[in-house]
Structure 1
């Protein structure tokens, strides 16, 4: 090899790359802006789910849901880098068969009475405002035994599992678990009444992003933290960013979240994608409760959790 051209040809032939002439950098000064801050309005989604209830048999895919796909170029599935959110519905009399998978999952109930979930043989009722957990590799099914079509939000760490690659999925051999015990309370179910009572006694988080905040579980799942936030009408948060990716669900209230050039006006049932290291700010019009689901446990375990607070403007 008498010159650089021959040297580079030899490097390329072995699927190598010289660190001194990379085509694209592998290190940069701070996180890049890839995924986009996004808002999905429940008022837009619910009519589609209701229509899907007439056109899409629940057995076609076990779950009748609509996934929140971030429109960043090249993305086919994720809502933010490590998490995916979805809206799901189930009609009276329908049963979603049991399955299990390595991704962790949780659901936040929006409306409807009479639904329940069965997780590893434990049957728990699902009511509006409740947060219910499905830890990795637990059998789970759900059904609607009530009079209402029911709607909820799902958040899973499927994109993280895609990145790490240990994806496993299995359908229950009997379609449903056979030995089921019904309970009124369970460690997998965080009741809305309990969350409200805890918020009454809570203080503001150190980042100032809510008037009061609680964490459900410690954390709720190994990869996923769940925080419930309370903000009164007129509340304006500081400007904040964190290396944790997050998905917000509006349980009640109305307001605006600003992030860069995006201004997202939200209301009950809406979902907000907030990618890592994007500076955002909440301004609240009506008394509000938000549920923030994030990958903080992953970032903390890897020593990668950072945040910054700036003054409100």
Structure 2
């Protein structure tokens, strides 16, 4: 090999790359901003789910859901790099049969009564505002025994499992678990009234992402890969500009306002979901008293000492 061309040809032929002439960098000074901030409006999604309830039965899909796919070029599924969110509904008399998978999951209930989830034999009611947890490899099924069509938001760590590759999925051989224990309360059901009570006694924070915030799940984090926080912000609140290496998906339980993400304004109201990808600056500007559920991959970042946060003072709207 007498010249660089022949050297590089030999390197390429063995599927190698010289560190001195990389085609693309492998290191960069701060996190790249790949996934996009985006908002999904419940008022637009709900009529589609209601129509799907009449057109899509369980012979076609035992989970009637609409995945919130981040619109970044090339993405086919994920909402954020490590998490995916979906709106889901279940009609009266329907049952989503039991299955289990390695991804962790949780449900944030938006509306409807008479809906239950069963996780590893424990059956508990799902009520508006509740967060229901489904840890990895737990059997789980859902059913509606009332007169309401029920709606909720799912958040799972499926994209993280895709990246790491330990994906396993199994349908229950008998469709449903045979031994069921009905309970009013359990650690997997984070009740909304409990979240409100805890927020009532939570100290008001200055210079933080929310005026009041509590972490849900016992013990915390709620799941090994995802943390869940309930946030309260008062009318007129303008938070500091926050930045974190963690990805976050927000569900609006009540209230309205705007979140400015890297200069992009996302106007939200009850039932909406919006994503703030990692290392995007964001600031909440609240129109009326608001409660948000923030789901993040902070536990993953903390496990590897990769969690970095910073705030800058709030500016006038």
Please report the TM-score for the alignment, with normalisation by the length of structure 1: 0.99
Partner residue in 1 for 2:20: 20
Name 2:294's counterpart in structure 1: 292
Residues 231-310 of structure 1 aligned to structure 2 (within 5 Å): 231-310=233-312
1:203-222 correspondence to structure 2 within 5 Å: 203-205=203-205, 207-217=207-217, 218-222=220-224
Structure 1 segment 223-238 matched on structure 2, within 5 A = 223-238=225-240
| Matched-pair contact (CA < 8 Å) for 1:106–1:133 | yes
**Paired residues for 1:117-128 under 5 Å:** 117-128=117-128
Moved more, 144-153 or 57-66: 57-66
Deviation at 1:207, TM superposition (A): 5.0
Map Cα deviations across residues 179-222 of structure 1 (whole Å, 9 max, x no partner). Answer: 00000001100000000000000024575111110000210000
CA distance in 1, matches of 2:18, 2:278: 30
Instruction: Name 2:71's counterpart in structure 1.
Output: 71
SS of residue in 2 equivalent to 1:80: coil
d(CA) in 2 for partners of 1:62, 1:160: 23
The DSSP-based 3-state class of the residue aligned with 2:222 is strand
Indicate the SS of the match to 1:59.
coil
Deviations 1:220-270 (A, max 9, x none): 000000000000101100001000000000000000000123111100000
Structure 1 runs of 4+ aligned residues shifted over 2 Å read 204-207
User: What runs of 5+ residues in structure 2 fail to find an aligned partner?
Assistant: none
CA deviation map 1:122-143 (0-9, x unaligned):
0000000000000000000000
2:33 matched residue in structure 1: 33
Distance in 1 between the 2:314 and 2:193 partners? Answer: 32
For 1:52 and 1:30, locate their aligned partners in 2 and report how far apart those are by CA, in whole Å.
Answer: 43
CA distance change for structure 1 residues 160 and 106 in 2, over 3 Å: closer, same or farther? same
- TM (norm. structure 2) is 0.98
- CA distances 1:163-183 after superposition (whole Å, capped 9, x unpaired): 000000000000000000000
CA contact (8 A) 1:207 1:240 kept: no
Tell me what 1:6 maps to: 6
Task: Give distance in 1, aligned partners of 2:262 and 2:306.
Answer: 23
Report if the CA contact (8 A) 1:35-1:72 is conserved: yes
In 2, Cα distance between the equivalents of 1:225 and 1:255? 23
The separation in 2 between residues aligned to 1:201 and 1:238, in whole angstroms, is: 22
CA distance in 2, matches of 1:207, 1:307: 12
Q: Which residue of 2 aligns with 1:189?
A: 189
Task: Flag the 1:298–1:207 CA change in 2: closer, same or farther, 3 A.
Answer: farther
RMSD (CA atoms): 0.8
